[in-house]
Structure 1
Amino acid sequence: MEGSEAAERARLRRELVDLLNAYSTEAQHIGHAFANQHRLHATDMQALLAVMQAERKGSPLTPGRLGETIGLTSGATTALIDRLERGGHLRRSRESTDRRVVHLRYAEAGMALAQTFFTPLAPRTDAVMNGFSVGELETVERFLNGMIGSLVSYRDELREN
C-alpha cells in the first residue's frame, strides 16, 4: 500500500470510529429519552430492542436467549420480563407444540408507545438513506454487520473471563 493511501486509510479509520461512537451516543440519548418518558430502565430498553430485532428477523427470543443476549442471570431476566409484561411492553407467547417453550413478543400497547415516540425520527433517517444508492447502502450494511460482529465477538470473550 502506498504511503498516501495508508495515511488516508488511517485517517478514515479514525473518523469512522469517531462517527460510530457519536452515532451510538446520540442513539443512546434518544433511547434514554424514551425510557425516561415511560419509566423504563436502561436494561428494559436493551431487552425491548432485542425482542423487536428478533421478531423482525422472524426468530422470537425465549427468556433464556434474551438473558444471554443482554447478559442477565435467569432470575434477573425473569424479573425484567415480569416488569415489562406488567407495563404492557412485552407479552409471553406459547407458539410451539411444546407448551414449555415461551417466546417473547412486543405487546401491542408497547409497540404503540414506541411508534408514537419514534415515528418523527423516520422521515429524518429516510432522507439520509435516500441520498445513497442501493449499492452504497449495501456497502454500509456490510460494514456495519462486520463492525457489530466484531463487537459481539469481543463482548462474548469478555463474558467468558
Structure 2
Amino acid sequence: MRSDASQVYRRYLSAVMLHGHASARACGLGATDLYALNILQLSGAMTPGELAERTGLTTGPTTRLIDRLEQAGYVRRVPDAGDRRKIIVEPVGKPLELDRVMTPARQKIGEILGGCTPEQLDALFDYFTRAAQAYQEAAEQLRDDTAGH
C-alpha cells in the first residue's frame, strides 16, 4: 500500500465535504440541509422522525430543517396515506439550482471517469458500495455508543 494513502484519502474526503458545503451555501442551504435532501432523494419520502434518525438530529432542529427545505421548494409535507395523523416529507422534483451549482464538478468528475477502463470503474464502484456500507455501520455504532452514555 502507498505510504501516503491515508493523506490522499483524507484530502479527497475533505475536498468532497468542502464542495458540499460550498454548494449548499451557493443555494442558500446549510450543509445539513443538503445532506438531508440527499437522504430524501436517495431513500424516498419518510416521516420527520425517520429523517431525524438518519441525520442524527433531534426533533426541533429536524422540524426547522424541513421548514427550510420546504420554503426553498425542495420538499413538501404530505399526509401519510395509511395514517392521516402522520406527515411524510417527500422531495419535490429536481432541485434545479442545486443541479446548476454542482454541474461544473460533476462534469470534471465525468471526465475523470471517462478516462477509466471498465475494470477500473468496476473496482471504483465496488469500493464506493462497500465503503458506504462500512461508513453507515460505523455511524450507527457511534450513535449507539453515544446513546448509551
| TM-score range for the pair, normalised by the shorter chain length | 0.7 to 0.9
Question: 1: distance between equivalents of 2:107 and 2:25?
Answer: 23
The equivalent of 1:73 in structure 2 is 58
The equivalent of 1:104 in structure 2 is 89
Quote how far apart the aligned CAs of 1:36 are: 2.0
Q: Unaligned stretches of 5+ in structure 1?
A: 1-8
The equivalent of 2:130 in structure 1 is 146
The equivalent of 2:14 in structure 1 is 25
Quote how far apart the aligned CAs of 1:106 are: 2.7
Greater CA drift, 125-134 or 34-43: 34-43
Matched residue SS, 1:104: strand
1:74-93 to structure 2, matched below 5 A, reads 74-93=59-78
Identity of aligned residues (%): 28
| CA spacing shift, 1:139–1:100, aligned 2, 3 Å | farther
Q: 1:63 is matched with which residue: 22, 43, 48?
A: 48
Q: Greater share of helix residues, 1 or 2?
A: 1
Question: 2: distance between equivalents of 1:94 and 1:128?
Answer: 43
Whether the 8 Å CA contact 2:26–2:101 is kept in 1: the answer is no
The equivalent of 1:37 in structure 2 is 26
- Superposition RMSD in Å: 2.3
Whether the 8 Å CA contact 2:74–2:92 is kept in 1: the answer is yes
| CA spacing shift, 1:92–1:129, aligned 2, 3 Å | same
Alignment pair present for 1:134 and 2:123: no
Question: 1: distance between equivalents of 2:12 and 2:42?
Answer: 18
Whether the 8 Å CA contact 2:25–2:31 is kept in 1: the answer is no
| CA spacing shift, 1:74–1:129, aligned 2, 3 Å | same
Matched residue SS, 1:30: helix
Question: 2: distance between equivalents of 1:66 and 1:51?
Answer: 8
| CA spacing shift, 1:90–1:127, aligned 2, 3 Å | same
**Structure with more contact order per residue of length (Cα contacts < 8 Å, sep ≥ 6):** 2
Alignment pair present for 1:49 and 2:33: no
Aligned residues: 145
Question: 2: distance between equivalents of 1:92 and 1:135?
Answer: 43
Structure 1 residue identity aligned to 2:143: R
Structure 2 residue identity aligned to 1:138: D
Quote how far apart the aligned CAs of 1:100 are: 4.6
Which of structures 1 and 2 has the bigger CA Rg? Answer: 1
